[in-house]
Each structure stands twice: as C-alpha cells, then as structure tokens.
Amino acid sequence: MDARLSECDKMLSGAPYDPACPELVALRRRAQGLMRAYNQTIDGDAARACLLPQLLGTWNDAVIRAPFHVDYGCHIHFGPGCFVNFNAVILDVCEVRIGARTQIGPNVQILTADHPRDGASRAAGLEWGKPVGIGADVWIGGGAIILPGVSIGDGAIIGAGAVVTRDVAPGATVVGNPARRPENTQG
C-alpha cells in the first residue's frame, strides 16, 4: 500500500486503516452532528431537505425515516425514489450504492466495516471494509443485515431478518441466516 495514502483513502480502498486518525474522527463527528439534527426532525420538516444532502454522498430525494444512523454518510449514494424505514444503520467505511426505487424496511443494517479475526490484530486498532452494492427495485425486509462486500442484483427480495453473507442474483429471493433461496420458490 502506498504510504502517501491518507487513512481515508486506505479505508475507501478496503485496505487496513486507523479509524482513530484525526481526519476520520472529524468526518464521523460531522456525520454525528448532522444525524443528531436530522433525527430530531419529523416528517414534513423543511430541515430534512437541507440536512440529507449535507450528510449523504448522493441523496436523490430518498425518503428516510428517523432515526437514521451512519458512520460517515458521505459514502452512501441513493438512486431516485428510494425509501428507508425507521432505525436503519448504514456503516459506510466503504461506498454503499443503492439503486433506484429500492425499499428498505425498519431496523435494516447495511455494513461495510470489518475487523480482524484474531485478538492481537484487533488490539492494534486497525479496521478495513468492503463496499456494498444494492441494485434497483430491491426490497429489503425489516431487520435484515447486509454484510461487507455483498452485491444485490436488481429486483431481488431480501426476507425480513435475513443475514446476507454473499451476493444475491438479480430477481432472486433470499431468506434466513445465512440468507438462501427458499426451497419452495423459483426466484
């Protein structure tokens, strides 16, 4: 890895990075302030239309119900016509791209952050991540968890409570933990 890369550049590329570096701490604090302000609003507040473009990489008028939680926000990109229900968590240490008209249920977690598996490496404080891509016209049921590095194809359905550990094909339906195609469907 190029030693001249910032910790933010390392983070976005999926390389190990130091989350305690001042640049990343400042970016998280900025996001926390915007989230706090957003999460104090209610439907119809004009402030929402001012806060979300500041928080997100691409807002595209997505309807996002508070509370809404992110790491940085600026690495999240919504296509037009998206809906996010209450209490979504999007940990965006890498990019998260969500396609047009995608619907996200309550308590969904979209996670790009990952950590070392051995204790000594975790103690060193380094992290890394993998981007998440979600296609257009996807429906993600309440309480689903999308893990780092997953791609979900256009028109897929993620069942409520599913833990998505691997890519989902366009038009497929997956359920369970780990998420798999149910045996009684063709999709």
Tokens representing residue 174 in the block: 């997956």
Tokens representing residue 183 in the block: 């045996």
Q: If residue 84 lies in a helix (H) or strand (E), which one and from where to where? A: strand 83-84
Tokens representing residue 8 in the block: 């933010």
CB 81 within 8 A of CB 100: yes
Give the CA angle between residues 182, 171, 105 to the nearest 5°.
75
Alpha-carbon distance of 40 to 75, in angstroms, equals 22
* Active site residue ranges: 115
Compute CA 29 distance to the chain's CA centroid, rounded to the nearest angstrom.
18
